[in-house]
């Protein structure tokens, strides 16, 4: 009982903070997706109450994801109706559940980080492009990716100054809330920036009629369905079951299942690294939980859900300890919808657009492009190809284009420099010797990760990089994470062949401070078998 009370004492306030962050994001992502606002709020409830109850993640929070907004807006237009799209969401949930059942949690290891980062950056740019018209007061939604640029042209021709003023002020609040002067203030730091931006937007929207130059119409505000009496019966449209025989529905479902699973697994990794107690989330169970959540979303009429790092990190920073926080955050969203629907309907689209513009910027920061450029052309090329594909084609084609470029580079390098398989220990009790080949790429992530995870406590691991010409950055990350886990089990990790490897460009990684603190470096002559 004492443990439960101690957990509730921390999970209750963190769940309240999480819901205050989630509500404007749920509404904003619904706006970015071209979906009804209620569909976004319902996804937030499902992410908390359904996924949170089944998930094995103690700190992860699920809900509608900005990363799926591009899929939603293009798929609804391509399928022709929202119920058909809901059928695709339901099927995507089934595919995710089967993927988790088949222990497919390692799927993320087969996608290079350059493609994943390119996908997120492309999504960020796409979201920003879709929200600029709303920030300018344009009220006609785009139909698919081609409509985004048309809406931009029309929005710049006749901007609504009231909407522009709201968007600018809300953006200013969001930027201010990121500054150290606010973060150092204990009281202000407890209030989420998106919530403050929404409050400012509501206040300015309520006073917009007093200024003739910037008056807002009803089309500039969030539209919630009738929640009184029989109005609840129209909230859950349900899927169009004829979509089971529609090939386009299955294509959309497969796209969502892959992207939602990738985003979830990425968020799981990030949340586990932020967990003060260093707990590990069972990835296959997480995929099954997300699958159940998306089946529920398809049945009830919600946007697809994934685990989301923004809300998960907020939960951790607010002191959350167990998954009770995620569950309660879904309950608070439900109560806010039932008790304060009139207040939610006072939120201007321009305020939500400001929040999403910040989300888009964080996904596609200029520093990310510089980091990828400095990583060399083998990382920058697939990254840029993915970004351009996501923005100008669609999400699936963009990721496919980035993967094609990455695989071409790998095949080219493998043709020029043969690859050698990893060496295994000859007998029990001998040191585990892993000799990396001349070309070690993201394709080898899963096998290296499995080898490091299966090592018994107290092992001695020798990683030989003397023959390695190109050591992929993805392998750097796997070795760093694996060595940290090995150290916790009392194992010792040695990297030999450093002097030979230093001649190559990737040797710069081996001299970084955080890597030196993780590994013990020796030379082939000093390493004893």
The more confident residue out of 124 and 396 is 124
Q: pLDDT tens for residues 268-296?
A: 877 887 788 888 889 899 999 999 999 99
The answer to whether residues 462 and 494 touch, using CB atoms and an 8 Å cutoff, is yes
- pLDDT of residue 126 exceeding 80, the answer is yes
* Both structure tokens of 368: 């990310």
Q: pLDDT tens for residues 30-87?
A: 888 888 888 999 999 999 999 999 998 888 899 998 778 888 988 898 898 899 999 9
DSSP-assigned letters across all residues of 352-394: HHHHHHHHHHHHT-HHHHHHHHHT-HHHHHHHHHHHHHHHHT-
pLDDT at residue 512 in the model: 46
pLDDT at residue 108 in the model: 67
Backbone angles phi, psi at 473, to 5 degrees: -65, -30
Helices 445-453 and 473-488: crossing angle, nearest 10°?
Answer: 10
479: closest CA among 518, 507, 506? 518
pLDDT at residue 443 in the model: 65
pLDDT at residue 229 in the model: 56
Provide the b/e sequence for 429-439 (b: ≥16 CB within 10 Å). eebbbbbbbbb
The answer to whether residues 69 and 32 touch, using CB atoms and an 8 Å cutoff, is yes
The more confident residue out of 431 and 346 is 346
The more confident residue out of 313 and 119 is 119
- pLDDT of residue 380 exceeding 50, the answer is yes
Give 512's contacts (C-beta < 8 A, 6+ positions apart): none
The percent of residues above 90 in pLDDT, for the chain, comes to 24
pLDDT at residue 18 in the model: 79
Q: pLDDT tens for residues 407-446?
A: 888 777 654 543 343 445 445 556 777 777 766 766 667 6
pLDDT at residue 292 in the model: 96
Categorize the per-residue pLDDT at 155 as very low, low, confident or very high, splitting at 50, 70 and 90.
confident
User: pTM for this one?
Assistant: 0.67
How many angstroms separate the CA atoms of 276 and 12, rounded? 18
The percent of residues above 70 in pLDDT, for the chain, comes to 81
Residue pointed to by tokens 């295994």: 424
213: closest CA among 266, 153, 160? 160
The mean pLDDT value of the chain amounts to 79
CA distances from 509 to 115, 189, 370, 413 (A): 20, 35, 17, 20
């Amino acid at each position: 009982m004492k443990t439960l009370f101690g957990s509730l004492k921390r999970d209750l306030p963190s769940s309240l903070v999480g819901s205050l962050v989630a509500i404007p994001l749920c509404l904003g992502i619904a706006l970015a997706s071209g979906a009804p606002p209620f569909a976004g709020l319902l996804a937030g409830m499902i992410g908390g109450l359904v996924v949170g109850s089944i998930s094995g993640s103690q700190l992860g929070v699920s809900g509608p994801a900005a990363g799926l907004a591009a899929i939603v807006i293009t798929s609804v237009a391509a399928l022709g109706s929202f119920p058909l799209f809901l059928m695709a969401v339901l099927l995507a949930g089934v595919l995710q559940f089967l993927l988790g059942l088949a222990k497919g949690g390692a799927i993320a290891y087969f996608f290079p980080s350059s493609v994943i980062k390119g996908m997120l950056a492309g999504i960020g740019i796409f979201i920003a492009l879709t929200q600029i018209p709303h920030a300018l007061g344009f009220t006609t939604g785009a139909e698919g990716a081609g409509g985004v640029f048309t809406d931009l042209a029309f929005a710049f021709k006749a901007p609504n100054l009231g909407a522009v003023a709201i968007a600018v002020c809300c953006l200013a609040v969001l930027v201010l809330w990121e500054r150290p002067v606010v973060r150092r203030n204990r009281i202000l730091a407890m209030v989420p920036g998106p919530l403050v931006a929404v409050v400012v937007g509501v206040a300015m929207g309520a006073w917009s009629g007093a200024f003739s130059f910037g008056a807002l119409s009803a089309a500039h505000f969030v539209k919630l369905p009738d929640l009184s009496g029989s109005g609840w019966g129209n909230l859950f449209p349900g899927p169009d079951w004829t979509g089971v025989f529609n090939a386009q529905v299955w294509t959309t479902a497969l796209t969502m299942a892959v992207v939602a699973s990738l985003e979830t697994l990425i968020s799981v990794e990030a949340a586990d690294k932020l967990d003060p107690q260093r707990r590990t989330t069972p990835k296959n169970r997480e995929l099954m939980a997300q699958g159940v959540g998306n089946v529920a979303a398809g049945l009830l009429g919600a946007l697809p859900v994934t685990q989301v790092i923004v809300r998960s990190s907020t939960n951790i920073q607010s002191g959350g300890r167990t998954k009770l926080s995620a569950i309660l955050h879904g309950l608070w969203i439900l109560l806010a919808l039932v008790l304060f629907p009139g207040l939610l309907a006072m939120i201007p689209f321009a305020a939500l657009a400001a929040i999403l513009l910040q989300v888009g910027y964080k996904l596609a920061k200029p520093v990310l492009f510089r980091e990828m450029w400095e990583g060399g052309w083998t990382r920058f090329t697939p990254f840029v190809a993915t970004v351009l594909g996501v923005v100008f084609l669609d999400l699936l084609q963009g990721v496919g284009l980035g993967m094609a470029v990455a695989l071409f580079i790998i095949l080219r390098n493998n043709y020029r420099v043969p690859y050698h398989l990893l060496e295994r220990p000859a007998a029990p009790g001998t040191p585990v010797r892993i000799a990396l080949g001349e070309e070690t790429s993201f394709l080898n992530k899963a096998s290296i990760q499995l080898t490091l995870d299966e090592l018994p406590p107290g092992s001695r691991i020798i990683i030989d990089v003397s023959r390695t010409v190109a050591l992929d950055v993805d392998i750097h990350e796997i070795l760093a994470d694996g060595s940290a886990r090995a150290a916790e089990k009392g194992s010792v990790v040695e990297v030999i062949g450093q002097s030979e490897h230093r001649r190559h460009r990737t040797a710069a990684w081996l001299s970084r401070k955080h890597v030196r603190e993780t590994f013990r470096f020796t030379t082939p002559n000093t390493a004893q078998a």
